[in-house]
Structure 1
Amino acid sequence: MVNEQLQQINVTLKEVIDPHMGVNILDMGMVKRVEATVDSGIYVGLVLPCIGCPALELMMADIRKRVGALDGVEKVKVKVEWGHQWDRTHITEEARERAARHGYVI
C-alpha cells in the first residue's frame, strides 16, 4: 500500500463515528491495523472499548462503504481483532474533549 493510499484511508476512517462517543474511530484508537491485500482489497482490524458494542455492525458497514468507495479499492474486510485490547492511551486529546462534551470521561 502506498503512503498516499494510506493517508486517504485514514482521512476516510476519520469520517466513521462511534455513535456512543460522538468521536471518530481513528481518534478513539479503535483502528488497530490497516493493510492492503493481494486482491486490491483493504483489511481494517479493529479493537473495541467494550465487548458487545451494539454499534459494531453499523461502524463496520460504514467502514466498508467509505473505504470501498476509494479509488483502487475493490473490496474491504473489517474484523475485530479479539487478541488485542483497546487502550485509553491511544485516544487523541481532541477525542477526549469531544467525548467529554457527550458526557464521557476517558
Structure 2
Amino acid sequence: MVDLNKVRDELKTVIDPEIGVNIVDLGLIYDISEPKPGQVNIKMTLTTPECPLHEGFLDAVEGAAVHVTGVEYVKVDVVFDPPWNPDMMNQETRHALGI
C-alpha cells in the first residue's frame, strides 16, 4: 500500500513557475487515490485551461509521484470542474501572495 500523504508531500516539489508556489498549496491537487496496489491516480486542475505549462505539469506530477516507495504507475487526470479559483489556495499561500 502506497502512503498517499508521502505522494502529496512529493507533489509539493512541483512548483508553478509563474507564481512560485507548489501545486499542492495552490490547491491544484483535487484527489490522490490508490485504486490498485502500486497505482496512484491523481486528479488535478490548472489555474486556467489555456495554461501553457500543461504538459510540463503532467510530466512533473508523474515524476514526483513515482519517487514514493511502492508507486509503480501514475495516472494524472486534469479536470476543470470545479474550476480553480484563488480560494482553493491554503491560507498561508493566499497571505503570502497578498490575497
Is the structural similarity TM-score above 0.5?
Answer: yes
Residue 23 of structure 2: which of 8, 22, 25 is its match? 25
SS at match of 2:59: helix
* Deviations, residues 57-86 of structure 1 (Å, cap 9, x unaligned): 111111111111211000101111133211
Percentage of matched positions with identical amino acids: 30
* Residue type at the aligned position of 1:51: P
Residue 72 of structure 1: which of 70, 73, 83 is its match? 70
TM score, norm. by length of structure 1: 0.81
Please report how far the alpha carbon of residue 87 of structure 1 lies from its aligned counterpart in structure 2 after TM superposition.
2.6
Distance in 2 of aligned mates of 1:94 and 1:30? 15
Q: Count residues in correspondence.
A: 99
More helix by share: 1
Residue 63 of structure 1: which of 61, 68, 75 is its match? 61
Distance in 1 of aligned mates of 2:30 and 2:5? 15
> Could you list the runs of 4 or more consecutive aligned residues of structure 1 that deviate by over 3 angstroms after TM superposition?
none
Partner of 2:80: 82
TM score, norm. by length of structure 2: 0.86
What is the aligned-residue RMSD (CA, Å)? 1.8
Distance in 2 of aligned mates of 1:83 and 1:9? 22
Q: Is the Cα–Cα contact under 8 Å of residues 19 and 55 in structure 1 kept in the other structure?
A: no
Distance in 2 of aligned mates of 1:10 and 1:42? 11
Gaps of 5+ in 1: none
Q: Is the Cα–Cα contact under 8 Å of residues 10 and 67 in structure 2 kept in the other structure?
A: no
Distance in 2 of aligned mates of 1:94 and 1:13? 17
Residue 91 of structure 1: which of 89, 92, 96 is its match? 89
